[in-house]
Amino acid sequence: MKNLLIALIMTVAILPLMAQYDIPRPDFNPFTLQSSALNNLSMSHSMGFEAGTSSAGSGYYLSRYTNHMKYQFTPKLELDLDLNFVNFGSMKTQQSFSLNDDNDSKVLPEFSLRYRPSDSMTFEIKMSQGLLHPSRAWYEKW
């Protein structure tokens, strides 16, 4: 017990002295303000809400938040990434307004990788989640 008390007192006495010295600390974060990776990254956000109802008394709602990111590797090669957070469901409006139990949320990623070797030529690899089947909208359940 006596040794523990002495070690604790020594630690408390030494801490203020160590705080006065500028001890180099390694920075393992690749995304610091001086990082060249952040200079080539641009980010924006968008939100949307949609709702509709019919005269028969049924309706739907859809909300979407999208995080758009663009990273330019070189002036000729760039990557676009969209993360869509979607929430949707249906409702009844016949007698009174009520939401159905089919509320659902999904994350729908989309990306494209574009390479422009010259002004007149472009190669693009793209993955997009729009209308999967023409008869059914992408936000409907299967």
DSSP state of 28: -
- In residues, how long is the chain? 142
pLDDT, tens digit (0-9, with 9 covering 90-100), for 10-47: 777 776 666 666 666 666 666 666 666 677 888 999 99
Task: Tell me which residue of 65, 64, 63, 54 sits closest to 91, measured CA to CA.
Answer: 54
pLDDT, tens digit (0-9, with 9 covering 90-100), for 58-103: 888 889 999 999 999 888 999 999 998 988 888 887 777 667 777 7
In 10 A of CB 88, how many CB atoms?
20
Residue 71 near residue 108 (C-beta atoms within 8 A): no
